[in-house]
Structure 1
Amino acid sequence: MADAQPCKYLIPGLERGLQLLLAFSEQHQDLTFAELHRLVDMPKATAYRVVQTLEHMGFLERNARTNTFRLGMNVLRLGFEYISSLDVAQVGQPVIEQLRDSSQCSSHLAIRDGRDLIYIARVSAAGARINQVSVGTRLPVHCTSLGRMLLTDISRAEFEALFPDERLPGNTPGQPREREALWQMVQADRARGFVVGESFFRPGISSIVYPIYDRDGRVAAVISIMVPSDEVPKSDRERLQNEVRLAADKISGFLGHLSQAS
């Protein structure tokens, strides 16, 4: 195998620095220099210089009281910069798969494009008999609970630019007919922080929807589960809401929304 052969282009100093950073783990979050030296394969003087360099660059932080080291903010920044460069579908796909498995409900990710929502990822529950939407499906934002959640961080001026007429387009049963009625629903959704849409768009199908935030605190997408019933069962409501909320927080953290990640 290629990775089992020695590489003649290695930079020894960089290799040693990365070896030392890799010594930190969940079991070794705070290490003295002596402990670090025992965990890495390098001379003591070299290890000392590597530690000093990494501390100077912010990749290690020293606790003056305990004289121990831990990973510094620059290590975290590198991770967040990379992960936040990925799109919502990339980081969200494994999360909605976990959500599907824990909730036993089909799960979706959607974003807003003007007055439409677009499904960007989906996974079906085992044995699901609901007619599933496919990736790329577009629906009017004002007709669905996912769309309402996507509207929660726009201003009144942006909302009226999006819907310039007092009468909303379409005639889907159950959808709001007037712009003001939709605005009031969206404000209630925003204050609540989530939407439980019980047969809102399609009779016999309910959904639980939470927002996903980007690093600037804007609603980047929404995550939902689809519950095949007119109402989310009261016995499962709290558990299901909590599972969707945790999944939303996880993806938000991946996108660099630090308050959610922490």
Structure 2
Amino acid sequence: MANQQEIKYLVPGLERGLQLLLAFGGQHRELTFAELHRLVDMPKATAYRVVQTLEYMGFLQRNPRTSTFALGMNVLRLGFEYIASLDVAQVGQPVIEQLRDSSECSSHLAIRDGRDIIYIARVSAAGSRINQVSIGTRLPAHCTSLGRMLLTDVTRAEFEQLFPQERLPGNAPDRLDNRETLWQMVQQDKARGYVIGESFFRHGISSIVYPVFNRSGGVAAVVSILVPSGEVPHSARERLQNEVRLAADKISGLLGYLSKAS
């Protein structure tokens, strides 16, 4: 629930426009203005102005023959662009399966949504006893090695918008809670180009994380493996790093990214 401080900053016109768009669904693909007005809680004159605005902007389209409204192309375009952003899961799934087989470690793909990371693909190692996350699981970005790598793509201004307080959210013991410390860690991760988190999120579990880049060079996702050890064994560290890096490079290439080296 939004608190009163948050509610006072809402934009009424935007809220009404979105409320009206949400009236459309599987059972209401086309609606007359009268039907729309019955479904939304706003004065008739206000609803009329909102409909006119949405039609002008292409979010609604009018059928002159039936005098009904339907969702316009701009709504579809927003949806298609979001779906296109999920291509990383489609192209990445077989790659992280290969990574799982070569590393013998559980492998994951994750993206960032605001201050959270979202797991969009995962494969478990044979006989793994690590409690696996499921696809769609959200975790705080500042608490995880994957989140730190995903945050390397934000500017300082964007970072401070995400974390406006000096103290980071959450108060779990032994958890990173200082914004400036996190920023410095993220800058070090960015310069290094990868993250090795040893018992960073969960005691006794390590991870190796590399970024996946999109066509424009932005961080689209991260690839990681989970190593069931408090530290990554030094005898296997270089090999495992190389396998995760190659997997990330392969997915980046499939997304159209051309590295400086290539």
Give the TM-score normalised by structure 2.
0.66
| Superposition deviation, residue 153 in structure 1 | 1.2
**Compared CA separation, residues 96 and 234, structure 1 to 2 (3 A):** same
2:167 and 2:200 mapped to 1: Cα distance? 19
What's the C-alpha RMSD, in Å, of the aligned pairs?
A: 1.5
Q: Map 1:109-128 onto structure 2 (within 5 A).
A: 109-128=109-128
2:204 and 2:237 mapped to 1: Cα distance? 16
1:261 and 1:117 mapped to 2: Cα distance? 29
Are 1:115 and 1:141, in contact at CA under 8 Å, matched by a contact in 2?
A: yes
2:167 is paired with a residue whose SS is coil
**Compared CA separation, residues 221 and 149, structure 1 to 2 (3 A):** same
Verify: 1:258 aligned to 2:262, yes or no.
no
Other-structure match for 1:94: 94
Other-structure match for 2:223: 223
| Superposition deviation, residue 176 in structure 1 | 1.6
| Superposition deviation, residue 169 in structure 1 | 0.6
| Superposition deviation, residue 259 in structure 1 | 1.9
1:232 and 1:121 mapped to 2: Cα distance? 23
1:248 and 1:121 mapped to 2: Cα distance? 13
Which letter does structure 2 place at the counterpart of 1:144?
T
2:233 and 2:160 mapped to 1: Cα distance? 36
Which letter does structure 1 place at the counterpart of 2:257?
H
2:248 and 2:260 mapped to 1: Cα distance? 9
| Superposition deviation, residue 150 in structure 1 | 0.3
Other-structure match for 2:176: 176
Other-structure match for 1:24: none
Task: Give the gaps of 5 or more residues in structure 2.
Answer: 1-83
**Compared CA separation, residues 161 and 100, structure 1 to 2 (3 A):** same
Specify the structure having the higher radius of gyration (Cα): 1
Which letter does structure 1 place at the counterpart of 2:226?
M
2:200 is paired with a residue whose SS is coil
2:89 is paired with a residue whose SS is helix
Other-structure match for 1:164: 164
Other-structure match for 1:194: 194
Other-structure match for 2:151: 151
Q: Map 1:127-138 onto structure 2 (within 5 A).
A: 127-138=127-138
| Superposition deviation, residue 182 in structure 1 | 0.4
How many residue pairs match? The answer is 179
**Compared CA separation, residues 130 and 202, structure 1 to 2 (3 A):** same
2:134 is paired with a residue whose SS is coil
Deviations 1:50-74 (A, max 9, x none): xxxxxxxxxxxxxxxxxxxxxxxxx
Task: Give the gaps of 5 or more residues in structure 1.
Answer: 1-83
| Superposition deviation, residue 172 in structure 1 | 3.1
Deviations 1:133-173 (A, max 9, x none): 00000000000000000000110000000000011010234
1:261 and 1:226 mapped to 2: Cα distance? 28
Which letter does structure 2 place at the counterpart of 1:253?
G
Are 1:249 and 1:261, in contact at CA under 8 Å, matched by a contact in 2?
A: no
2:177 is paired with a residue whose SS is coil
2:182 and 2:124 mapped to 1: Cα distance? 30
Deviations 1:157-199 (A, max 9, x none): 0000000001101023433211000000000000000000000
1:173 and 1:136 mapped to 2: Cα distance? 26
Q: Map 1:205-216 onto structure 2 (within 5 A).
A: 205-216=205-216
Which letter does structure 2 place at the counterpart of 1:149?
M
Other-structure match for 1:140: 140
Which letter does structure 2 place at the counterpart of 1:101?
D
Give the TM-score normalised by structure 1.
0.66
